[in-house]
């Protein structure tokens, strides 16, 4: 098993009704990626879909993928494609549950947002991860 230093939260920066299949097709056909961008994607109804085994490396944050597990919720932008925290209550609950499960396996892993890494110039995951974690007493 890889040594995991980070549990990274993302948004897909798509409408909340975007299908996982269309996101995977974008990665493969538009970006030319061989592996998915995230290990887990969370649908608007809270369903968690494992898109890549955690033993494998995904394409979540350039330069930080080897020690990371990537988790994304579907959404993160408004109708004008501006960043917005539009997570549903179900998505938030699923994030918390998944993070707790992963912290049991990787107790020293730091939870960060994509935008919290050096040289990242994007709003992803469209919310302040540290403030959110404090607000839920995680």
Q: How far is CA 8 from CA 29, 30, 41, 80, 90, in A?
A: 24, 23, 12, 25, 19
Q: Is the peptide bond before 125 cis (omega within 30 degrees of 0)?
A: yes
Residue carrying structure tokens 């179900």:
90
Instruction: Check 28, 100, 122, 134 and give the catalytic one.
Output: 122
CA torsion sign for 84, 47, 94, 107 is negative
Instruction: Check 6, 10, 70, 73 and give the catalytic one.
Output: 10
Instruction: Check 11, 43, 70, 124 and give the catalytic one.
Output: 124
Question: Is 122 an annotated catalytic residue?
Answer: yes
Question: Is 70 an annotated catalytic residue?
Answer: no
Question: Is 38 an annotated catalytic residue?
Answer: yes
Question: Is 26 an annotated catalytic residue?
Answer: no
3-state secondary structure 75-110: CEECCCCCECCCCCHHHHHHHHHHHHHHHHHCCCCE
Instruction: Check 38, 39, 70, 112 and give the catalytic one.
Output: 38
Question: Is 39 an annotated catalytic residue?
Answer: no
Q: Return the active site residues.
A: 10, 38, 114, 122, 124
């Amino acid at each position: 098993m890889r040594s995991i230093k980070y549990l990274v939260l993302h948004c897909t920066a798509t409408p909340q009704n975007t299908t996982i299949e269309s996101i995977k097709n974008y990665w493969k056909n538009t970006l030319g990626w061989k592996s998915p961008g995230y290990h887990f994607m969370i649908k608007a109804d809270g369903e968690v879909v494992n898109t890549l085994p955690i033993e494998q490396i995904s394409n979540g944050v350039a330069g930080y993928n080897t020690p990371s597990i990537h988790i994304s919720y579907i959404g993160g932008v408004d109708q004008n494609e501006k960043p917005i925290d539009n997570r549903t209550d179900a998505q938030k609950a699923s994030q918390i549950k998944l993070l707790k499960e992963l912290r049991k396996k990787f107790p020293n892993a730091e939870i960060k947002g994509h935008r919290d890494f050096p040289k990242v110039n994007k709003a992803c995951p469209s919310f302040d991860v540290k403030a959110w974690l404090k607000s839920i007493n995680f």
